[in-house]
């Protein structure tokens, strides 16, 4: 989209209150502090977490808020204390800042930092022409990807990758919900020699076909029984009833990883489903080490992202498409 703002101002899509559509606003371009960079945004992917924020299932710490935490852009200005050069292409993920001092930060688990701050949640994010970000949390982006192609790696890719790591060395891997995260994760899992079993909403033939085209050897409805017991399952769909379904599908000793930040309530289930040393766990946020690993691995596979592009001012349309399950791959706002 051509820049439509006047000098010193930028276009942004702003959430005033949960339940309302985002509002287009012209506002001053933010100024970077000494440890921040000002980024001219080229693309920002739309994540299900953005939808949870807009729909009121998650409450951000500030309103009004510019959502968006899968940002690709170029440094327009560097703060005095950052080494990043102007013009460099960077990605900005969900993890915006950590304290570096708490027990979690000091044990390589900054994703669980007691005082962590998140992009497009505690801080204004990427549904805008510019943003500021702490330079220490920005990633360099591999050259093989365009801005639009790279954007979904920043959360869908990263959370999927962390979920896969928490699934251990499972060979037969189930994935529930074939959206942006799953479409990247299937490619990584296949590259690692794992066998993928994909679960979609019942009757979602297009989603099942998409999963097969990415390398899943079986695809079916979410309450179907897979052709053989699984070693692990990852749940991306925000649907609590999938937890007992996934526990039923994994073998003894298997792990079920809940990959989303929000899920509807999990119905009660017989202890028998957990018995046999099955493990149920969530995955929260990302560490910078996760990002560095994935961004080194993705171009070598190579992971290909499938995107559906929307102009910045159509951010509400992108959210609507995501809510109704109409996006194949990832929705991305193309900002420049």
Task: Point out which residues bind Zn ion (CB under 5 A).
Answer: 47, 49, 98-99, 102, 105, 113, 155
Closest to Zn ion by CB, 191 or 262: 262
- Sign of torsion, CA 108 112 84 139? positive
Reduced to 3 states, what is the DSSP secondary structure of residue 201?
A: coil
CB of 103 to Zn ion, least distance (A): 8
Q: Which is nearer to Zn ion, 35 or 224 (CB)?
A: 35
Contact 319, 50 (CB under 8 A): yes
CB of 112 to Zn ion, least distance (A): 8
Among 29, 19, 36, 26, residue whose Cα is nearest residue 4: 26
CB 208 within 8 A of CB 186: no
Nearer to Zn ion, 70 or 204 (CB): 70
C-alpha 332, offset from chain centre: 12
Task: Pick the closer one to Zn ion by CB: 156 or 230.
Answer: 156
Decide whether 98 or 148 has the Cβ nearer to Zn ion: 98
Task: Report d(CA 82, CA 36) in Å as an integer.
Answer: 7
Nearest CB to Zn ion, comparing residues 47 and 303:
47
Nearer to Zn ion, 102 or 284 (CB): 102
Give the burial class of 268: count Cβ atoms within 10 A of its Cβ; 0-12 exposed, 13-18 middle, 19 or more buried: exposed
Instruction: Work out how close the CB of 285 gets to Zn ion at its nearest, in angstroms, rounded to a whole number.
Output: 9
Q: Which is nearer to Zn ion, 36 or 49 (CB)?
A: 49
Q: Give 262's contacts (C-beta < 8 A, 6+ positions apart).
A: 49, 52, 57, 58, 238
Alpha-carbon gap, residue 291 to 162, rounded angstroms = 9
242 in Cβ contact with 259 (< 8 Å): no
Tell me how far the alpha carbon of residue 282 is from its chain's centroid. Answer: 14
**Residue 181 is encoded by which pair of tokens?**
């995260």
For Zn ion, the closer CB: 11 or 113: 113
Give 69-132 as a DSSP string.
--EEEEEEEE-TT--PPTT-EEEE-SEEE--S-STTGGGT-GGG-TT-EEBTTTB--SSBSEEE
Considering the complex, what minimum distance in angstroms separates the CB of residue 102 from Zn ion?
3
Indicate the SS3 state at residue 284: coil
Q: Which residues contact 227 (CB under 8 A, 6 or more apart)?
A: 197, 218
Shortest distance, position 6 Cβ to Zn ion, whole Å: 31
């Amino acid at each position: 989209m051509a820049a439509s703002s006047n000098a010193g101002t930028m276009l942004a899509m702003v959430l005033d209150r949960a339940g309302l559509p985002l509002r287009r606003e012209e506002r001053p371009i933010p100024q970077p502090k000494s440890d921040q960079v000002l980024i001219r945004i080229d693309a920002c992917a739309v994540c299900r977490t953005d939808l949870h924020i807009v729909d009121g299932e998650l409450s951000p710490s500030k309103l009004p808020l510019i959502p968006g935490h899968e940002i690709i852009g170029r440094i327009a200005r560097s703060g005095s204390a950052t080494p990043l050069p102007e013009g460099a292409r960077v990605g900005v993920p969900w993890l915006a800042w950590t304290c570096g001092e708490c027990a979690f930060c000091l044990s390589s688990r900054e994703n669980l930092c007691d005082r962590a701050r998140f992009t497009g949640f505690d801080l204004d994010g990427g549904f805008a022409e510019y943003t500021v970000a702490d330079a220490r949390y920005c990633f360099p982006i591999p050259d093989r990807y365009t801005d639009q192609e790279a954007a979904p790696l920043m959360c869908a890719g990263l959370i999927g990758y962390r979920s896969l790591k928490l699934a251990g060395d499972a060979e037969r891997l189930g994935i529930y919900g074939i959206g942006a995260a799953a479409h990247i994760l299937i490619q990584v899992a296949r590259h690692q020699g794992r066998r993928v079993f994909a679960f979609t909403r019942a009757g979602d033939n297009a989603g099942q076909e998409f999963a097969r085209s990415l390398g899943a050897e079986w695809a079916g409805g979410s309450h179907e029984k897979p052709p053989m017991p699984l070693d692990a399952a990852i749940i991306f769909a925000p649907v609590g009833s999938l937890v007992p379904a996934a526990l039923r599908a994994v073998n003894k000793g298997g792990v079920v990883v809940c990959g989303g930040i929000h899920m509807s309530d999990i119905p009660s289930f017989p202890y028998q489903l957990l018995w046999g040393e099955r493990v149920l766990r969530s995955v929260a946020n990302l560490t910078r080490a996760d990002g560095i690993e994935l961004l080194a691995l993705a171009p070598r596979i190579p992971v290909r992202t499938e995107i559906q592009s929307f102009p910045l001012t159509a951010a509400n349309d992108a959210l609507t498409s995501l809510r109704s399950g109409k996006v194949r791959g990832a929705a991305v706002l193309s900002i420049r």
